[in-house]
Amino acid sequence: MVVKYSKKGVKKRLPKAGFKSITVNETVYDKFYQIFFDQKEKLVMKGVNSFSGYVTFCLEEMMRKDETFAKFTPKIEKISVDENCIILRDIPKNRIVEIQFHKNELACMLCDQNDCKHIGFCESLPEVLEIQGKDEQ
């Protein structure tokens, strides 16, 4: 608990009761703040009225997506991603899966398809979206 004194010499507890504080890197803080500032009007429509509220909103949204992703995705684990291929582990099949990039398309070497569950999993990975975005430029 942090104790701060107001100008009148009254003790203030920081953070407020019912809240906790966390420490983040300045770069991360600045990115979040810039997004908050740029989208403030849209966020107010969603009930987000402060920067703290925005960070809480982002964390809750991320947790919700992670829970949904874990619940509904097949049991696949990312091992590695590079510019040429993605390596996955298919847990139920107990197999290692190689996904290759061919002209900005993904091809599964295990299923010999470009629309299987392994491809769907890869298309949800931010790293893959970044690589595909670079190739389009």
Two structure tokens written together for 53:
């509220």
Two structure tokens written together for 99:
């996904």
Stretch (H or E) spanning 88? strand 85-90
Using the predicted structure, report yes or no on whether residue 6 has a pLDDT greater than 80: no
pLDDT value for 105: 86
Per-residue DSSP letter, 18: T
pLDDT value for 88: 95
Least confident of 8-12, 116-120, 130-134: 8-12
11-21, pLDDT tens digit by residue? Answer: 666 777 888 88
Two structure tokens written together for 21:
């504080």
Check: CB of residue 88 under 8 Å from CB of residue 97.
yes
Provide the 3-class DSSP secondary structure of residue 106.
Answer: strand
- pTM (two decimals): 0.54
pLDDT value for 54: 93
Q: Residue 53 to residues 19, 47, 68, 86: CA-CA distances in angstroms? A: 11, 9, 22, 36
Q: Residue 130 to residues 87, 91, 105, 125: CA-CA distances in angstroms? A: 16, 26, 13, 9
The residue ranges of every structural domain in the chain are 23-72, 76-136
pLDDT value for 51: 92
Using the predicted structure, report yes or no on whether residue 40 has a pLDDT greater than 60: yes
Two structure tokens written together for 79:
């091992």
CA separation for the pair 131, 60 (Å, rounded): 27
Query: Which of 106 and 15 is assigned the larger pLDDT?
Result: 106
Give the distance, in angstroms, between the CA of residue 38 and the centroid of all CA atoms in the same chain: 19
